[in-house]
Structure 1
């Protein structure tokens, strides 16, 4: 009896649980297997009703620009819960636009404030975009490749190229990739050749074995010897492809220099010499350039600097100037350095035929200075 009651209660319990499960499962939200952006039931109302309504009721062009930008940014959202939140937000915005358009004073103030905020953010975004473009342009300008006027001989990995500074990254990566591919091709060719040798040895072994057992009258089936061509066909074809690729590398290394490229490199060399000449002239005119600072920062080697006196260090520092007149010229001559114009330092004293005039002007200047000194002394006594 107890067993029967327990069985009935268990059956009722199971039925009650099944009933509760059916009620809960009906309330459980269904999970979409298809992305929301691909459902026509979602796309058509969103585009034709919500999107067009927002554009129609938007208070300004800046707000329309923001709506278009948001919809383009969110058009690939796939998750249903995220789509629901976005739709609620846009419907709320559309209701605000519609109420403001209908004459609601409060909503008109809210919408106008929103429009001013969007206008400011659009200007800020445009300024940031211009700023980033300018930074990117300055970065490209500072790191652009410049021809140095030298030739880079062709190799297995690249044809004739001009030397550039800095070296372009895409060319460096291309050369590195070709190096790796050549190593891989050589390894594959060696492995292919080893496999062909193994098949050839196996064929020779089967032929020898077949001849030996044929004398004893034993039947023997040779898998490799009878189908040697089929075994080697794809290996030979693969070897031809690898050898063709390696021959292309050798052709690249023997590629001649184009006349236009040679002229471009020579022109870059001439331009470099002209630029360095102008830079030297500017430095001689007194401008402090990068090469000036670099030369001043240089010094003798450490083992020589340790044995130099203070006077020798001072003279070495003065002699690193580009000047060849005055005190610098005197120091350079004392150190035994060659001057491009050995007579240039004499210009400071004037030409010999002008010495008489210079002496008269010097005496006049000295007399004027003496007169002014006497006048100043009299004023001080008063």
Structure 2
């Protein structure tokens, strides 16, 4: 029996067994590298060698192009499992390429069919790429900036510029960056001026201390040492003043003759474009501008003198329909209807004659009589 609290030493056989077990298990322990596998030469060098061999032994150009595409597609893979799958696939392809080159007829037939499949796919992607490029070009044309003929006056942040719609992001970014730079420079100049005032106060304080003690001391802020403190601040302030004066010169930039000619040409083109639009509208073409004007109300100087009833009628007349209530109001207001208003006449039975017309009018009269009777009954029931 060992004393209480005393743990006996293990037997020598157990110690030997543990040492032998550690010696056998230690080589099997997984060692994680300190860098990712795709940055190790032990992975990069064999992968590049595999890629070169695949290109070298590819049966034809179509398959070689496919190998290049797959390599570019998977070259950024960082997952170990997916990378391993693609590498195994690459070695499998390399073995098949070598067999086909050595004369294996089965592999040759497989690669001939695969090459034809790739050729068809390449042609399909070629036409898709052309279609996408054309669609992208049309979208670019729809969003391209157009000169409006107006002028952006010169400011501290930009010289005179032609007004474009929509305004290019580069111009907006230029103005915004110059505004921020000017604010930063002004704030920096103010800090430098404060530091310069602090240096003058320190120099005055040091001079006062030297005079009081009456002995020679090392000057830190006054005397010749003040030049070393003030020179960098003075140079920086002078630099910022020159940059700020450039902003003022930019704001005073006159409009150049070339810009004036560009604005006049843009205004002439705008007038010509609007003239073509009006001609198309007179021919019956409904343009986006036509719909926008139809949705708008009368001008302010006319709208202010219109009664609520007139505003309501104007809003109804601007509708796109020509039958029903809208058609009736348009006919009453004297609006010219298509086909002489036959659609409204057909709906109301005005184009009928004889007994058919009398029947429609009788049905309408009976409808209104019944409606008035029911309204009167409802009123009597409410009154009790």
After TM superposition, the score normalised by the length of structure 2 is 0.68
State the partner residue of 1:196: 196
Structure 1, unmatched stretches of 5+, are 319-326, 333-382
C-alpha RMSD over aligned residues: 3.8
Alpha-carbon separation, structure 2, partners of 1:122 and 1:102: 28
Alignment partner of 1:264 out of 258, 262, 265? 262
What does the per-residue CA deviation read over 1:130-174, in whole Å, with 9 as the maximum and x for residues that have no partner?
343233222211111111111111111111210000000111011
Show the 5 A alignment for 1:360-371. none
State the partner residue of 1:223: 220
Alpha-carbon separation, structure 2, partners of 1:176 and 1:310: 44
Alpha-carbon separation, structure 1, partners of 2:121 and 2:29: 42
Task: Note if contact 1:59-1:111 (Cα within 8 Å) is conserved in structure 2.
Answer: yes
What does the per-residue CA deviation read over 1:265-319, in whole Å, with 9 as the maximum and x for residues that have no partner?
211111111111222222223322222222222224788776125995389649x
State the partner residue of 2:151: 151
Task: Note if contact 1:160-1:255 (Cα within 8 Å) is conserved in structure 2.
Answer: yes
What does the per-residue CA deviation read over 1:63-97, in whole Å, with 9 as the maximum and x for residues that have no partner?
21111122344456678776544332201111223
Aligned: 1:27 with 2:24: no
Task: Note if contact 2:297-2:315 (Cα within 8 Å) is conserved in structure 1.
Answer: no
Deviation at 1:176, TM superposition (A): 0.8
Alpha-carbon separation, structure 2, partners of 1:256 and 1:102: 78
Deviation at 1:47, TM superposition (A): 4.6
In the superposition, relative to structure 1, how do residues 257 and 22 fare at CA in structure 2: closer, same or farther (>3 Å)?
farther
Secondary structure, counterpart of 1:149 in structure 2: strand
Deviation at 1:33, TM superposition (A): 5.7
Secondary structure, counterpart of 2:227 in structure 1: helix
Secondary structure, counterpart of 2:157 in structure 1: coil
Secondary structure, counterpart of 1:163 in structure 2: strand
Alpha-carbon separation, structure 2, partners of 1:89 and 1:69: 14
Alignment partner of 1:275 out of 251, 273, 276? 273
Moved more, 35-44 or 259-268: 35-44
Alpha-carbon separation, structure 2, partners of 1:5 and 1:311: 104
Alpha-carbon separation, structure 2, partners of 1:311 and 1:235: 71
Moved more, 264-273 or 279-288: 279-288
Alpha-carbon separation, structure 2, partners of 1:288 and 1:78: 56
Show the 5 A alignment for 1:339-354. none
Task: Note if contact 1:143-1:166 (Cα within 8 Å) is conserved in structure 2.
Answer: yes
Structure 2, unmatched stretches of 5+, are 320-329, 336-384
Task: Note if contact 1:315-1:331 (Cα within 8 Å) is conserved in structure 2.
Answer: no
Show the 5 A alignment for 1:1-382. 6-9=8-11, 16-28=17-29, 31=32, 46-47=47-48, 50-75=50-75, 84-102=84-102, 104=104, 107-108=107-108, 110-112=110-112, 114-214=114-214, 221-226=218-223, 227-300=225-298, 307-309=308-310, 312-313=313-314, 317=318
What does the per-residue CA deviation read over 1:172-193, in whole Å, with 9 as the maximum and x for residues that have no partner?
0111111111111111110110
Task: Note if contact 2:148-2:165 (Cα within 8 Å) is conserved in structure 1.
Answer: yes
Alpha-carbon separation, structure 2, partners of 1:196 and 1:121: 73
In the superposition, relative to structure 1, how do residues 81 and 270 fare at CA in structure 2: closer, same or farther (>3 Å)?
same
After TM superposition, the score normalised by the length of structure 1 is 0.69
What does the per-residue CA deviation read over 1:233-257, in whole Å, with 9 as the maximum and x for residues that have no partner?
2211221222122122112212232
